[in-house]
Amino acid sequence: MATAASTLKAVLFDRDGTLVFDVPYNGNAELVRPVPGARKVLDEVRSLGLATGVLSNQSGIARGLLTREEVDSVNARVEDLLGPFDVWEVCPHEAGDGCRCRKPAPGMIQSACRRLGIDPSEAAFIGDIGSDVEAAAAAGARGVLVPTPQTRPEEVTAAPEVAVDLEQAVSLLLQGMLLRGLA
């Protein structure tokens, strides 16, 4: 039976707090700052032929605090700093809207995987809060939590896998591939 590591085809990332420092409701591309090591980790993932993607809740759109154009501008800046991503998914809804895309719902992961032509079991999702790893589990993907000071202790306790930073998170995901000589 193949493990998730031996069939990993894509690594998906949360944006705010995971790839870039979280600036609440950021509509200003000039405020985008990558977390330490993000570019190196993404370059490693891409060098192995794995797809990459970004999935981000952006309720500020529904709340009227941001426009979709501002979010797109911030996303473009993320890509300028961290390299090209194969897929982007943005949920513009508020928590009470009842959509299937807002994490912890699995919709964005399912959509990203569909667009990449893979099964969610062939993807991993790295994020900084409980709803990220909950979305991964709900979609059938592997989830890794990289806590920040804003991550609640109960989210860390509940997470199936926890890493101290992006580099360790990706190392956990790739460990099985490298041991099997698949990389």
* Alpha carbon distance 86, 147 (integer Å): 25
Bridge-based pairing of strands 123-127 and 142-145 is parallel
CA atoms within 13 A on the CB side of 164: 0
Question: Can you tell me whether residue 10 is helix, strand or coil?
Answer: strand
Contact 92, 108 (CB under 8 A): no
Of the residues 14, 43, 86, 119, only one is catalytic, namely 14
* Alpha carbon distance 142, 144 (integer Å): 7
Of the residues 16, 43, 80, 86, only one is catalytic, namely 16
* Alpha carbon distance 139, 57 (integer Å): 16
Q: Catalytic site residue 80?
A: no
Q: CB within 8 A of 105, min separation 6: which ones?
A: 99, 135, 138
The residues that are catalytic are: 14, 16
